[in-house]
Structure 1
Amino acid sequence: MKRRPGKSGKGRRIFLAAAAAVMLAGSVSGCSGKISSLVSEGMGTEGFSDAQMMLVVASERNRCQKIYTDQIWDIAVDDAGTTFQTYLLAEIQKFLKELRVMNLLADERQISLSAREKEQLNALADSYYESMSEADRAYTGASRDDVYTMYEAYHRANRLVDALTQNVNLEVRDSEARVITVQEASFAQESEAQAFWRRVTEDGIDFQAAVKESSLDGTAEKSVGRGERQKAYEDAVFALESGQISPVFQDGERWYVVKCVNDYDENATLERKQKMALERKNQAFRQIYDSFAENHQVESNGGFWERLSLKDGAESETDDFFEQYRQVMDGEN
């Protein structure tokens, strides 16, 4: 196996990496109302047909399997023994529910697609369907029209996010997002920290070598962003310039000496600015979405999910349903 999925980052939200609508996906809870018409005769969970849902299932199943191999499905992802198969299916089901609710909200807000957008989505549906092998089509049961339906629903969700957050201030200052690179030594006693400080400042001992010899945590260089550590720590380290070593300072129950390796990591700061802007956008959107979702819970027919196994579909290889969308539609919203 290449690597075991974790509880954060890529392993934690592995299939939710497509675009704004997917990134905004989270749990829909506390809903009281139900819309029975969402699941009509012949339709599956969340108002999508089985074949339409299988387009997402197949793409994410195959992408995960290519990353982790086919041994991934029975691996436990938490202390309760939840398998990766159970976890991923639950995430996909949650995503599909939210996608449906977002389209209901798009209906209410009268979010419609232009002729140009429909033309692009039709071309995208043609391209994706043509890229599917016979095994892919057999596994999903999807038609070309099913592909278009899912791309249209996904695109309308993205359009909704943009429309509801267009007046949100997404500007993030460098001072808010600044990321620095440091080497850190920590100690249980102030006297130990003072002795370390003298070694690396007065005796000229290499800082990282000294860390490995005497610090409680012999760590490699680490990136630190504003707001990630306690105030005492940030006050000490963000005042440093590249190459400087801090005085001994206390943060919580530990004493620290920190060397600043880079007082402004430009690439990391830019990446963090983008992440913080997206978080602001998500928060603004969620305030509207959550209120709407409370009264628009989507019913599920559990039969589809109960009989679904990600161990099936051995010959299916399609894994870029969202990637093809990004390549065509990003920048067009």
Structure 2
Amino acid sequence: MRKKQIGIKCMAISLVMACSVLNFTGCSIGDNTPIIGNITGLKSNQMFKIDELVCSKSEYMICLLDTAKQYAKDFGGSVDWKNKISDHKTLEEFVKDKVKESITVKYALAAMAKKNNVTLSDTEKTEVSKQASQYYKAMTDSEKDYTDAKEADVENLCEKYKLAEKVYSGITEHVGDDISEEDARVIKIQYIKMDSSKTKVSKIKSTLNEVKSVVEGGYQEFSREAKQYSVDSTVEKDIKKGEATLKYETEAFNLTKGKISDIIEDGDSYYLVYCVNNYIKDKTTENKKDMVEKAKEAVFNEQYSKFIDGSKNQFNDKQWKKIELPSL
């Protein structure tokens, strides 16, 4: 395979867009992953194998090239891959590690497709073929030399990525459906915290009861009293469920707007909580989205790890160490 300088040229379709790929979390197959079963070894044109699914070096190089071009674009078109980004790693090593993680996870999911009875429909196969053809036609001769790729390699890569996407979607499709608005509700409070290690309990209780009385009577603003008496420098914050102790959380989330809690005793700490807003809509929506994503990630990671633990896999570390990123 000839090595040539690869100039910057924006492709009509990036590989990420062409293959409609999700950024999956999870573990990659490391070069020190224990081998399960009898592995006959990988050829020089094969990068890794998961059960019977093999990723060719050309498929791997396409992914590496595409990622390198994305980094070059982000850096303004010129990259020195040998630049140190830490004491122990160059930018080239960092990018190679990221590609290794990304592609091995996606191919592992593609390998799971058979086990989960996941296949591409005729329509999906046609679309993958069309996208691969467009991508390959947009490649320069020097890019084809660098990857040693044929159109079939691009199509095979896109097919595996599409299968990975379908497997991931199938695993996580209904995960998080049971998470409610109430589960995700975010509220804004003001509070006073007093510490019995610094002030007598009787004094704390009389102070907090007095604050509650004057605020409810309309004589003072809660925030003013909080700044005067609270041992915390911050007197207002947004909170989600699970961020405070159960006793504190229960009292705070039971409040309606403009109401003040009873005194909350929690160890050496004593609190008075004022509800500014008992439902912050935009932050609740964002929190619910985050909770669903974390739930999906947990379910996916469990099934993915179980599959990897029971699979036969091998990574061609010898070839991987020889690979250099293209000069862009």
TM-score by length of 1: 0.66
Is 1:301 the counterpart of 2:308? The answer is no
Q: Give distance in 1, aligned partners of 2:267 and 2:21.
A: 38
Match of 1:43 in 2: 46
Which structure has the greater CA radius of gyration? 2
1:74 to 84, 90, 103: 84
Q: Give distance in 2, aligned partners of 1:136 and 1:265.
A: 51
Match of 2:288 in 1: 273
Structure 2 residue identity aligned to 1:92: V
1:53 to 60, 67, 88: 60
Structure 2 residue identity aligned to 1:302: D
Aligned partners of 1:171 and 1:277 also within 8 Å: no
State the secondary structure of the residue aligned to 1:229.
coil
Structure 2 residue identity aligned to 1:74: K
Structure 2 residue identity aligned to 1:300: F
Q: Give distance in 1, aligned partners of 2:193 and 2:153.
A: 57
Aligned partners of 2:44 and 2:319 also within 8 Å: no
Report the aligned-residue RMSD: 4.4
Aligned partners of 1:183 and 1:208 also within 8 Å: no
Structure 1 residue identity aligned to 2:84: D
1:133–1:41 distance in 2 versus 1, CA, 3 Å: closer
Match of 2:108 in 1: 101
Aligned partners of 2:106 and 2:161 also within 8 Å: yes
1:45–1:174 distance in 2 versus 1, CA, 3 Å: same
Identify the range of structure 1 (277-286 vs 61-70) with the bigger mean alpha-carbon deviation.
61-70
2:211 to 169, 187, 198: 198
List per-residue Cα deviations over 1:110-169 (Å, max 9, x = no partner): 322111001111222234445556676566554443332222111111222334456767
1:209–1:131 distance in 2 versus 1, CA, 3 Å: farther
**Per-residue deviation at 1:175?**
1.8
Aligned partners of 1:111 and 1:160 also within 8 Å: yes
Match of 2:11 in 1: none
Identity of aligned residues (%): 21
Match of 1:207 in 2: 223
Aligned partners of 2:47 and 2:319 also within 8 Å: yes
Q: Give distance in 2, aligned partners of 1:209 and 1:56.
A: 60
1:110–1:243 distance in 2 versus 1, CA, 3 Å: same
List per-residue Cα deviations over 1:7-30 (Å, max 9, x = no partner): xxxxxxxx9xx9896434336698
Runs of 5+ unmatched residues, structure 1: 1-14, 316-333
Structure 2 residue identity aligned to 1:260: C
**Per-residue deviation at 1:33?**
0.9
Structure 2 residue identity aligned to 1:153: K
**Per-residue deviation at 1:101?**
2.3
Q: Give distance in 2, aligned partners of 1:138 and 1:109.
A: 37
Is 1:123 the counterpart of 2:124? The answer is no
Identify the range of structure 1 (291-300 vs 157-166) with the bigger mean alpha-carbon deviation.
157-166
Match of 1:33 in 2: 36
Is 1:264 the counterpart of 2:279? The answer is yes
Q: Give distance in 1, aligned partners of 2:194 and 2:118.
A: 57
Aligned partners of 1:170 and 1:280 also within 8 Å: no
Is 1:175 the counterpart of 2:186? The answer is no
State the secondary structure of the residue aligned to 1:241.
coil
Aligned partners of 1:39 and 1:45 also within 8 Å: yes
Runs of 5+ unmatched residues, structure 2: 1-15
Match of 2:232 in 1: 216
Aligned partners of 1:74 and 1:84 also within 8 Å: yes
Q: Give distance in 1, aligned partners of 2:266 and 2:158.
A: 50
Q: Give distance in 2, aligned partners of 1:208 and 1:87.
A: 51
**Per-residue deviation at 1:294?**
1.4
Aligned partners of 1:32 and 1:295 also within 8 Å: no
Structure 2 residue identity aligned to 1:296: S
Aligned partners of 1:180 and 1:223 also within 8 Å: yes
Q: Give distance in 1, aligned partners of 2:284 and 2:250.
A: 18
TM-score by length of 2: 0.67
Match of 2:24 in 1: 23
Aligned partners of 1:186 and 1:193 also within 8 Å: no
Q: Give distance in 2, aligned partners of 1:140 and 1:169.
A: 41
Q: Give distance in 2, aligned partners of 1:104 and 1:204.
A: 66
Q: Give distance in 1, aligned partners of 2:91 and 2:233.
A: 32
Aligned partners of 1:99 and 1:157 also within 8 Å: yes
Q: Give distance in 2, aligned partners of 1:271 and 1:89.
A: 33
Aligned partners of 2:45 and 2:58 also within 8 Å: no
List per-residue Cα deviations over 1:197-243 (Å, max 9, x = no partner): 83993763572895599643437x64422233321231122122234
Structure 2 residue identity aligned to 1:276: M
Structure 1 residue identity aligned to 2:240: G
